[in-house]
Amino acid sequence: MATYLLTQLNEQGVLTLTLNRLDKLNAFNSAFYTELAEAFRQADHNPAVRVVILRGSESCFSAGNDMADFMNGMGFSKDQPLMQYMWALLHFSKPVIAAVAGPAIGIGTTMLMHCDLVYLADNAVLRLPFTDLAAVPEYAASLILPRLAGHQRAAELMLLADKFDAQTALEIGLANKVLPVDELFAMAEKSALKLAAKAPASLRNTKKLMKAELINQIEKVIDVELEYFSAALESEESKEAVNAFMQKRKPDFSRFS
């Protein structure tokens, strides 16, 4: 069985999870989601883990969902790998630091909204491509991004589905810092060590309190988004988007109303 996730736990309690499917630009298939979900579940119950760093390489964070797996029926029910990962990260009790370089597409962007600190390299490129795929946002992005950026900026990013850079992500509150790529992982490590030296129960409780007001709403929005997402996948618009992707052309939605 392929291993798509590299794990390293240091003596200070910093667990580094490195996405490692670079031949597919770290695109997530069901097996990858299963590994991620299990890694977060184990880390949450392991007292030796105090902080998690989630990272890719210096050139790639993630291209999002693996389209081949996606088109072959990637499941969206709560017992499926994608949802298992979403829930594991959403309810993870310890600090999570994301260190992102290169492309972060689709869920590669939306997962950042559920991390506690987000550091972006200056080569990071983010995108929420859902309308180009005849789909809808996922992972509560439709709730969280407007709260971060305001309706108009969120609409620009989600409706137009254009790429945006690290500086834009910083401006809208999606990131803490933008750094040169050769300083990115050192910054994440520095912050992780600082957190690891703090009282662990205090960190967990502070994070819990910060999320308490929204967590139930986020869960409900995720469920509603997935209902819309599942319905969209059965639509003629979706079939056109998939065919266009396979044929490497721009989708033509002109016949739909």
- Tell me which residue of 138, 3, 20, 145 sits closest to 83, measured CA to CA: 138
Q: Does a structural domain hold residue 237? A: no
**1 confidence band (pLDDT: 50, 70, 90):** low
**32 confidence band (pLDDT: 50, 70, 90):** very high
Tell me, what CATH number does 174's domain have? 3.90.226.10
Q: Does a structural domain hold residue 216? A: no
Q: Does a structural domain hold residue 148? A: yes
| Range name among 67-81, 119-133, 225-239 with the lowest pLDDT average | 67-81
> Among positive and negative, which fits the CA dihedral 6, 38, 143, 240?
positive
**Mean pLDDT (the chain, rounded):** 96
User: pTM to 2 decimals?
Assistant: 0.96
pLDDT digits (tens, 9 = 90+) for 82-119: 999 999 999 999 999 999 999 999 999 999 999 999 99
Q: Does a structural domain hold residue 242? A: no
What's the pLDDT at 193? 99
Q: Does a structural domain hold residue 168? A: yes
Q: Does a structural domain hold residue 140? A: yes
What's the pLDDT at 67? 85
Total domains, the chain: 1
Q: Does a structural domain hold residue 208? A: no
Mean pLDDT on 21-40: 97
Q: How far apart are CA 110 and CA 104, in angstroms?
A: 9
What's the pLDDT at 76? 67
pLDDT digits (tens, 9 = 90+) for 132-176: 999 999 999 999 999 999 999 999 999 999 999 999 999 999 999
What's the pLDDT at 213? 94
Question: Rg of the Cα trace of the chain?
Answer: 18
Higher pLDDT, 229 or 186: 186
**75 confidence band (pLDDT: 50, 70, 90):** low
Q: Does a structural domain hold residue 217? A: no
Domain carrying residue 91? 5-181
What's the pLDDT at 246? 84
Contact 139, 64 (CB under 8 A): no
Contact 56, 102 (CB under 8 A): yes
Mean pLDDT on 172-195: 99
